[in-house]
Each structure stands twice: as C-alpha cells, then as structure tokens.
Amino acid sequence: MMTLFGDPAVWLPLTFAGLMGFSILVYVVLDGFDLGVGLLSPLATPEHRDRMIASIGPFWDANETWLVLAIGLLLVAFPQAHGMILSGLYLPVAIMLVGLILRGVAFEFRAKAPPGHKPAWDVAFFVGSLMTSLSQGFMLGMYITGLEWTLVAVIFSGLTAVFLTVGYSFIGATWLIYKTEGLLQLKSVEWARGGIWGLLGGVAAISIASPLASPRIFERWFDFPDSLFLAPLPLTFALIVGLVVLVLRRLPTGDDDFAILPFLATVILFTLAFAGLAYSFYPYVVPDRLTIYEAAAAPESLIIILVGAVIVIPVIIAYSTLAYTVFRGKATALSYD
C-alpha cells in the first residue's frame, strides 16, 4: 500500500509537511483570536472584559491543542528539524510557554479566586497573551532569517513580533464584532479599524524583508515566468483588505448583518499570508539547512501515524464543529448551570 502513490520517501514527507502546515494555520487563526481578545482585554471595562473572555471560554483549550498537534507533527515526522528549531529558539520558546501558562490558568483563576484577586489575574491574562504573541512573532522572524542570532535578524524579529501581535489583536477584534453586541461591538469595530493597518504593514514588511534576507526566496518570487502565477496571491490579498476596510466603515448594521464577515475575511487573509510563506520555504523545514525529505522519520512509522491522522482528523473537525455550534451566536455570561 505504501508504494500505491509512488515513492513513499517523496509523498510521505510532503503529506506530513501539509498536515503540519494545516495545523499551524488552524492554530494561528483559532488561538490568534483568543490571544487577540487577551491583548485587547485591558482596553475594556470590567463588565465588557468578562463578556470578551466569555466569548472564547468554551473554545480556547481546543484551539490551543492545534499547537500541540503542530509541534507534535514536527516532532514525530521531522525529528531532526524539531531539535534544530527548538534548541535554536530556546529562549523565545520558554517565554512563549510561560505566557501560555499564565494566559491559560488566568481564565480559571480570575473566575474562581477571591474577588479581590481578580484584577491581578486580569493582568496575568493580558501579560500572558502578550508574551505569547510577541514570542511567536519573534520566532517567525528568526525562522524567516534562518535561525541565526545576528543583530539584523534580531531587529527584524522584533518587528515581526510587534506585527504578529497587532495581527492577533485584529483577528481578535473581528471575532468580537461577531460575538458581541451593543457598546462592546462598537468598540470592537473601532479596534478593528485601527488593527487592519497594522496587519497590512506586517504582511508588507515580511514580504519585502524575506526576499532580501534570503536570495533563494528572492529567486522563488521574482523568477520570470513563475512569478506570473504568483501574482494573484498579493492581488487577492489587497482586494480583501479593501473589502474589509469598506465593511468596517459600515459596521455595525442595525440588524447585525455581516457581523461575521470581517472575521471570515481575516481568516482568508491569514491563509493567503501563510500560503505565501509556505511557498517561500518549500522544500525546507529548517530554512536553507534541512529539507523535509532529509528530515523525515522512517516511512514505517510515518504510515502508522498517517493512518491514524486520516481517520481521526475528520472526526476532530466534526466534534470541534459541534462545539462551535453549541456555543454559536452572541456570547453570554458563562456559567456552569
């Protein structure tokens, strides 16, 4: 069965790179809005903050699990790359983990600790979200520049850290437009109007800097005639940004039509940006050092995982959809009753 689709040493690594890319993308979108809500939380009044956090309460755990899957796939499918990337990013990873810990436990503690402690846990919730987004953005920058701790790379990564954080805030704001109403929704629209420019700036900065940082990426993007096929990518991106800007001007509408539109459009924007990055790096899993083919684990083991993944991932998507359906509509106060 292994040779059914051709040489397993080719299609297996490719399939796993695809699966891993998929999980990273799902993670960035789903936990992106969770983190964004955390980043925006200090800007809101205490009542609004409760409502904002209620809008992500039933989901954040499952959303975060996509990170576990992405890292798990990197670990199991490309063990050598996993070691190289994570030991190269030792510090930012540690900061991200502490951030994720703070953010995750603050959810629970702020609701259960004595009322006097709540403001402190709110701070932990914000700081945790901030540490997580900044370090993820920083890691993205380091990855693009080839995991070398040079001054230029660090400065560039500092920029990507800020931009990713703005990007997360933006998708968080669009999520809130969809999940809230009244004054909070109005505020979210305002946040989103500001955030979109940050997102645009970030994507532009990465698009300009990556080809400069790596001659290989430069060639990939500007090699005629291949570059013609790529033109739709930035064009679609620009079109959707334009659309979002227009929609944001009109929201919220009286009967709350289109409230989900900015969020869905942002998902597409994230996907396009991600596709661009993936195109830049293929076939490398560690930029310019290790390809997915060199790094892949033994085919026998990959097959075992693939069988499980093919059966289970659709089921996961099905019950995740169930969870989102149960908690669809405007967020209400969370209660165990």
Please name the residues in contact with 174: beta carbons below 8 A apart, sequence gap of 6 or more: 33, 188, 192, 262, 263, 265, 266
Task: Determine contact, residues 37/263, Cβ cutoff 8 Å.
Answer: no
Distance CA 246, CA 253 (A): 13
**Chain center to CA of 34:** 10
> Measured from the CB of residue 103, what is the shortest distance to ligand HEM in angstroms?
13
Residue with Cβ nearer ligand HEM (31 or 50): 31
Residue with Cβ nearer ligand HEM (278 or 309): 309
Cα-Cα end-to-end distance for the chain = 51
> Measured from the CB of residue 40, what is the shortest distance to other proteins in angstroms?
18
How far lies 79's CA from each of 114, 153, 190, in Å? 45, 25, 44
The type of residue at 232 is P
Q: What is the DSSP letter of 42?
A: G
Cis peptide before 283 (omega within 30 of 0): yes
SS3 at position 285: strand
31 binds ligand HEM (CB under 6 A): no
For ligand HEM, which residue has the nearest CB? 65
Distance CA 227, CA 276 (A): 12
Distance CA 2, CA 300 (A): 9
Residue with Cβ nearer ligand HEM (232 or 308): 308
> Measured from the CB of residue 258, what is the shortest distance to other proteins in angstroms?
25
Site for ligand HEM in 46-65 (CB under 6 A): 61, 64-65
Residue with Cβ nearer ligand HEM (61 or 257): 61
> Measured from the CB of residue 324, what is the shortest distance to other proteins in angstroms?
9
68 binds ligand HEM (CB under 6 A): yes
Q: Where along the sequence are the contacts to other proteins (CB under 8 A)?
A: 50, 54, 57-59, 61-62, 64-65, 67-69, 71-77, 79-80, 82-87, 90-91, 93-94, 97-98, 100-105, 107-109, 111-114, 297-298, 300-301, 304-305, 308-309, 312-313, 316, 319-320, 322-323, 326-327, 333-337
34 binds ligand HEM (CB under 6 A): no
Number of H helices and E strands in the chain, helices first, is: 14, 2
- Binding-site size, ligand HEM (CB under 6 A): 4
The type of residue at 194 is G
Residue with Cβ nearer other proteins (22 or 327): 327
> Measured from the CB of residue 72, what is the shortest distance to ligand HEM in angstroms?
8
Residue with Cβ nearer ligand HEM (61 or 223): 61
Residue ranges in contact with ligand HEM by CB under 6 A:
61, 64-65, 68
